[in-house]
Amino acid sequence: MKTISAVCALVFSVLFVCGCAAKPGVYGNPLTETKTSSVGEILANADNLSGKVVRLEGEIVRECPAGGWFMLKDATGTIYVDLHTAQIAIPQAVGHSVAAQGKVRKDGKLISVLGEGVELK
């Protein structure tokens, strides 16, 4: 009986881990922007880019437990990507490469991207 319980626990654990892994794919709208902007460019030019659609690429370094926002980091900095306004949620993907597209938002000193589409790689 202990062997059957141990085997069941092992199978359940493997299925749980595999089922919760981030799956590559597009969430929300397809990414149409061809030019990738760096986080540094967006932060430095937020006044001019506010309301404009940009494409970013980097790594997810922090994420909402429900998948409604994440922090994207590239070689030039880190920026908050909000998916709530587009009603998008992504699976847990901290450490994964990602491309995101959305409108730059500047609210006082806070600069973020209102995500419209996300591609997990």
- 47's tokens: 């006044």
Residue 107 pairs in a beta bridge with 110
> Are 117 and 99 in contact, with CB atoms under 8 Å apart?
no
Condensed to tens digits (0 to 9), the pLDDT of residues 21-63 reads 688 999 999 999 999 999 999 999 999 999 999 999 999 999 9
**What pLDDT, on the 0 to 100 scale, is given for residue 20?**
56
| Domain count of the fold of the chain | 1
Does residue 104 belong to any structural domain of this protein? yes
Query: Would you put residue 43 in left (φ > 0), alpha (ψ -120 to 50) or beta?
Result: alpha
Cα separation, 18 vs 6, whole angstroms? 18
> Are 33 and 53 in contact, with CB atoms under 8 Å apart?
yes
Does residue 14 belong to any structural domain of this protein? no
- 105's tokens: 């938002």
Q: Which domain holds residue 98?
A: 23-120
Does residue 67 belong to any structural domain of this protein? yes
